[in-house]
A and B are shown apart, each in its own frame.
Chain A
């Protein structure tokens, strides 16, 4: 249960930030989805069960914040979290390429699934938005991934020092 605490708190925190972006941050209709960023960054270093559960919580929070498409948010985020959880079992996750590419393809899968359930009037406009969001999410995921990794390293060092 303890391992869920920080990710959930982070998600609630970024929801407060996400709803108050300055409009200048939006480029071609795209902006970072910080809840998805937190979900991916935490899940790629964990397992699929953690990923799916975190995805479910992310979907629930985002659905509550938006007030529409609750089922779509729940389903897409749960699948995305599950897939993100599969990443470390397949690829060596210390490599910076892994979180970057993971953020891109996971955002792509998540948003494509989402617009399949919630069709948009213009396919190309939605496609531009998804591509922009992929790039944004990749940048933010790498930043968060390294913050999490360095804090994890510090924690392990403290444990080792305490044992010595």
Chain B
């Protein structure tokens, strides 16, 4: 044992693990207190250009794949025509790309104008950096007034909550993440429960009353409980209802209205609490 502890590599491992535990607990403590952790903040700022560059490369590659389709021809006299076709395709593809972007931006703008609360628009620059967390990174941080806990929405409904706000970027945790817990309500019957992520594409509405009036295809909205996320944001539709006679509980599996991986432009609700109704 003493021999093992004299080994340089074992000492390094133990030292690094202790440092890791220290950094982890300090990060957790500063996150709970709602203030930024300086080490992560510095790394965050260093990673921002790489994440933004990755996003730019991905967007360009997607456009290039769409417009740069190689076409082989056997007839020389067709060269001019092929060139013309390609030019038109390029123009068409970039117009389609522009139109798609314009639709998303218009929807986001319309939502921003219709919401009775202050919002900040942001673009998703990176997502799911790890296998185990449904998170994404947006290009707005504390400088734009983003705070941890704020709701993140788009024109289809609630996407998640800001987990951590950096100087220029913020981390958003999706509703589907197992660590996410948001107050939810059946819009038709007003039965309230707690929405918990399941780590897959579904969310579970738990802690419903035993005889809760909830059925398939019911729309689930945020309940506004906890004064963090405003009341009335659409979360999704009920896929199935689970009534457990042994424990006397009712829960509902909810399919989110927003596909987390397809969100490109989002709105962050600047204030906390409030209602859309």
Name B44's closest neighbour in chain A (CB-CB). A64
A115-159 near B? 1/0 per residue, CB < 8 Å: 100101110011001000100000000000000000000000000
Residues B163 and A12 in contact, CB atoms below 8 Å apart:
no
Contact A65-B137, Cβ < 8 Å, known A70-B23, A71-B27: yes
Task: List chain B residues, Cβ under 8 A from A75.
Answer: 17, 20-21, 24
Residues A79 and B199 in contact, CB atoms below 8 Å apart:
no
Task: List chain A residues, Cβ under 8 A from B51.
Answer: 15-16, 19-20, 65
* Complex CA distance for A85 and B13, rounded to whole angstroms: 11
* Complex CA distance for A82 and B16, rounded to whole angstroms: 10
* Complex CA distance for A122 and B164, rounded to whole angstroms: 26
Task: List chain B residues, Cβ under 8 A from A103.
Answer: none
27 residue pairs A–B, Cβ–Cβ below 8 Å: A12-B47, A15-B51, A16-B51, A16-B126, A17-B54, A19-B128, A20-B51, A20-B54, A20-B58, A29-B131, A29-B200, A47-B9, A56-B19, A60-B43, A64-B40, A65-B126, A67-B135, A67-B171, A68-B173, A71-B20, A71-B27, A75-B21, A114-B132, A115-B132, A118-B132, A122-B198, A129-B131
In this assembly, does B28 line the interface, its C-beta being within 8 Å of a C-beta of chain A? yes
In this assembly, does A101 line the interface, its C-beta being within 8 Å of a C-beta of chain B? no
Name B169's closest neighbour in chain A (CB-CB). A67
* Complex CA distance for A123 and B198, rounded to whole angstroms: 11
* Complex CA distance for A18 and B130, rounded to whole angstroms: 8
B residues adjacent to A (C-beta < 8 A) = 8-9, 12-13, 16-17, 19-21, 23-25, 27-28, 39-40, 43-44, 46-47, 50-51, 53-55, 57-58, 62, 125-133, 135, 137, 163-164, 171, 173, 178-179, 198-200, 261-262
Task: List chain B residues, Cβ under 8 A from A85.
Answer: 9
Task: List chain B residues, Cβ under 8 A from A15.
Answer: 47, 50-51, 54, 129
User: Closest approach, in angstroms, between the C-beta of A131 and any C-beta of chain B?
Assistant: 12
Q: Secondary structure of the A side of the interface?
A: helix
User: Closest approach, in angstroms, between the C-beta of A60 and any C-beta of chain B?
Assistant: 7
Residues B131 and A33 in contact, CB atoms below 8 Å apart:
yes
User: Closest approach, in angstroms, between the C-beta of A45 and any C-beta of chain B?
Assistant: 16
User: Closest approach, in angstroms, between the C-beta of A74 and any C-beta of chain B?
Assistant: 3
User: Closest approach, in angstroms, between the C-beta of A94 and any C-beta of chain B?
Assistant: 22
Residues A69 and B163 in contact, CB atoms below 8 Å apart:
no
Task: List chain A residues, Cβ under 8 A from B13.
Answer: 48, 52, 78-79, 82
Residues A120 and B199 in contact, CB atoms below 8 Å apart:
yes
Name A130's closest neighbour in chain B (CB-CB). B131
* Complex CA distance for A75 and B20, rounded to whole angstroms: 6
- Point out the residue from B21, B128, B199 that lies within 8 Å of A125, measured CB to CB: B199
* Complex CA distance for A69 and B133, rounded to whole angstroms: 9
| Cβ < 8 Å to B, chain A residues 30-77 | 30-31, 33, 47-49, 52-53, 55-56, 59-75
Which of A63, A65, A122, A125 has the most chain B CB atoms inside 10 A of its CB?
A: A65
